[in-house]
Structure 1
Amino acid sequence: MAGLEERYQKAVAFVGAWDAGKTMPNDRKLLCYGFFKQAAVGDVTGDQPYAVQFEKRGKWDAWNAVKGMSKDEAMKNYIEELEKQIKEFDPQNPGF
């Protein structure tokens, strides 16, 4: 079985080319976004954007929701959430 880092990198590459992912509900996209940013950067930085900045605020909030999570845990959660999304929204796709 591939290591966590390798599986995570495959999952990230898969999302970039996944057509069904483009039509995913925003709340589900943001779950993966928060895990992705936490794994890549660590804890959220900067001030919370104004509420009228919908996209920036949603991303910041998703990232802030996983503040303190370890890189490994964030990668694991990213993979698990993506697998759930594939099963729910694109069940014929074999995934990554």
Structure 2
Amino acid sequence: MDLKTRFETAVADSKTLSEKPSNEVLLQLYSLYKQATEGDNTAEPPANPFDFVAKAKYQAWEELRGKSADAAMEEYVQLVTKLKS
């Protein structure tokens, strides 16, 4: 199975995990997904300093700047595989 197919399968699997991952793991999944599908973060930082969720998502994605889409897909697949077991 090629990487893109494994990634798409992992995305589907991530929605049916037996238990909800921690917020830290959810941020990891979010940022890896965004990096894999959109590349480097080009959005403006959240304007509201009290929107902690948006701020955390922005920072998590920003930390992956420069990581290739393939590397992000591979890490995403590995993380979901780990969460399933």
Common fold, TM-score beyond 0.5? yes
Query: The residue matched to 2:44 in structure 1 has which SS?
Result: coil
Which of 38, 52, 55 aligns to 1:54? It is 52
Greater CA drift, 42-51 or 74-83: 42-51
Q: Larger relative contact order (C-alpha < 8 A, sep ≥ 6)?
A: 2
Alignment partner, residue 24 of structure 2: 27
Could you tell me how far 1:17 is from its partner in structure 2? Answer: 2.8
- Tell me if the contact between 2:17 and 2:83 (Cα under 8 Å) persists in the aligned partners: no
Q: CA RMSD in A?
A: 1.4
Quick one: which amino acid aligns to residue 69 of structure 1?
K
Query: The residue matched to 1:24 in structure 2 has which SS?
Result: coil
Number of residue-to-residue matches in the alignment: 84
Quick one: which amino acid aligns to residue 62 of structure 2?
N
* Runs (4+) off by over 6 Å: none
Query: The residue matched to 1:48 in structure 2 has which SS?
Result: coil
Quick one: which amino acid aligns to residue 61 of structure 2?
W
Query: The residue matched to 1:52 in structure 2 has which SS?
Result: coil
Distance 1:42 1:71 in 2: 6
Query: Aligned pair 1:82/2:80, yes or no?
Result: yes
Alignment partner, residue 45 of structure 1: 42
Provide, for residues 42-91 of structure 1, a one-character-per-residue CA deviation record: whole Å limited to 9, x for no partner.
1112222244111111111111111111110010011112222233xxxx
Query: The residue matched to 1:17 in structure 2 has which SS?
Result: coil
Unaligned stretches of 5+ in structure 2? Answer: none
Calculate percent identity across the aligned residue pairs.
31
Could you tell me how far 1:19 is from its partner in structure 2? Answer: 4.3
